[in-house]
Amino acid sequence: MLEIEFHNREKEIREIMRILNSRPDLITFVYGPINSGKTELFQHLIKTLPKDFVVFYVNLRHVYVSKADDFLKILFDVRSKRVSVKTIAKEIVDTYVPSEVVTPLGRFPIPKNVFKELFKEKAIENVFVYLENLLSEIAKKKKPVLILDELQKIGDVKIDGLLIYELFNFFIGLTKEAHLAHVFAITSDSLFIERVFNEAMLHGRCRYLLVDDFDYNTTKDFLKKYGFSREEIDLTWNYFGGKPVYLVEAVKNRDRLKEFCKESLEDRFTFILYRINDLKRKNPNLFEKVITLFKAFENEDKTECQEISDEVIWTVKNNVLFLDPRKRLLKPQSQLDLLAIRSILKELID
Ligand SMILES: Nc1ncnc2c1ncn2[C@@H]1O[C@H](COP(=O)(O)OP(=O)(O)OP(=O)(O)O)[C@@H](O)[C@H]1O
Ligand SMILES: [Mg+2]
């Protein structure tokens, strides 16, 4: 079977290591287009981190979160033994194996009796106090790192206010105030990042790290590893740009590359066409605005975004466009989306 090995990301890894090797001061929000390799990057990094780090990696992708308790409960790995937080922390410090953390949920161990107590009342406060105690015990020996993937999944979950605000406060406590743990929050939802970016409580308390698709040279080097010729590289780049997930598939479909490229574009075209036609029926006014927005990509691959209008929300929510709120830029989620948008404009004009 063809083994695809982790490729490059030297610049991003250097940046993350620079953060990890300094005192925790700010929350790091990691963002980027869909399927750009954010999760892959962090999973790779966790496996290769020096032993003096202890990582808790929680991926919310595969969990169902409808209320705050759902989120709080999945943070824990409930143990039957009655032991103290100190003992648990010691066990983690002594036995920690980075590669074992890379499961969908790298959860925090907790004794059953303590777990039950936490959820009797004021669960959110109790949970954060427990986690802070555990992390501060671990921090005496090693450097704790907390990574939350797909954080937008709890964006609208309510407690008294919104759960996400409580969580941001907890993160600020761990970083800026106590300097206890590094915190990385990963998301591919650019509307969520836009909310974060404009959130007053986070100003001066976080930094941003963009994990984008590969650039041309990185893509070329990746494909060369699997024996791609100059022509095959150009064909792949013209259809998929540097989107890692498609590059991996291109390698697997090398013996029928042209067909694979055309099929992929056809799929993307159909996906967008069905959605846009559905919108035309339900909301002709918004449909017109989306088409006007698409026209910005007739000859350009990005456009400036001055406001989060309805058409921006629609195209971003449907994963057709990616918004970088820091640069106020809108661009298709992938080269394939750019080609599909252009084909759709032609189809509608003909
Ligand atoms: N650096 C890389 N080297 C090799 N393959 C990669 C790399 N980055 C990503 N991939 C491939 O692309 C796929 C998608 O990457 P990944 O799931 O990390 O993207 P993501 O940005 O987390 O996506 P999402 O937006 O859905 O969260 C991976 O399963 C892997 O096959
Ligand atoms: Mg991901």
Segments making up each domain of the chain, as ranges: 10-210, 216-252, 260-349
**32-46, 60-74, 174-188, 264-278: segment of lowest average pLDDT:** 60-74
Average pLDDT of the residues in 203-226 = 96
Average pLDDT of the residues in 62-66 = 85
Whole-number Å distance, alpha carbon 37 to ligand 1 midpoint, is 3
> For position 30, what pLDDT does the model report?
97
CB contact at 8 A, 145 and 182: yes
Whole-number Å distance, alpha carbon 49 to ligand 1 midpoint, is 19
Name the more confident of 274 and 84: 274
Spatial distance between the Cα atoms of 343 and 326, rounded to a whole number of angstroms = 29
Spatial distance between the Cα atoms of 19 and 17, rounded to a whole number of angstroms = 5
Mean pLDDT over the full length of the chain? 91
> For position 104, what pLDDT does the model report?
46
**Which residues line ligand 1 at a C-beta cut-off of 6 Å?**
4, 6-9, 32, 34-40, 188, 244-245, 248
Pocket test for ligand 1, best of 35, 42, 150 (most atoms within 8 A of CB): 35
Q: Considering the domain delimited by 10-210, tell me its CATH architecture.
A: 3-Layer(aba) Sandwich (3.40)
Percent of the chain at pLDDT > 70 equals 97
The contacts of residue 292 (CB under 8 Å, 6+ apart) are 311
Quick one: residue 319, left, alpha or beta (phi over 0 = left, psi -120 to 50 = alpha)? left
pLDDT beyond 70 at 10: yes
Spatial distance between the Cα atoms of 36 and 30, rounded to a whole number of angstroms = 11
Average pLDDT of the residues in 44-69 = 88
Name the more confident of 315 and 195: 315
Pocket test for ligand 1, best of 47, 102, 245, 319 (most atoms within 8 A of CB): 245
> For position 101, what pLDDT does the model report?
57
pTM greater than the 0.85 cutoff: yes
Q: Considering the domain delimited by 260-349, tell me its CATH architecture.
A: Orthogonal Bundle (1.10)
What DSSP line would sit under 207-223, residue for residue? EEEE-PPP-HHHHHHHH
> For position 283, what pLDDT does the model report?
98
> For position 3, what pLDDT does the model report?
87
At 52, list the tokens. Answer: 């003096």
Spatial distance between the Cα atoms of 58 and 108, rounded to a whole number of angstroms = 10
CB neighbourhood size of 335 (10 A) = 22
100 pLDDT band (50/70/90 cuts)? low
> For position 348, what pLDDT does the model report?
83
Average pLDDT of the residues in 164-176 = 92
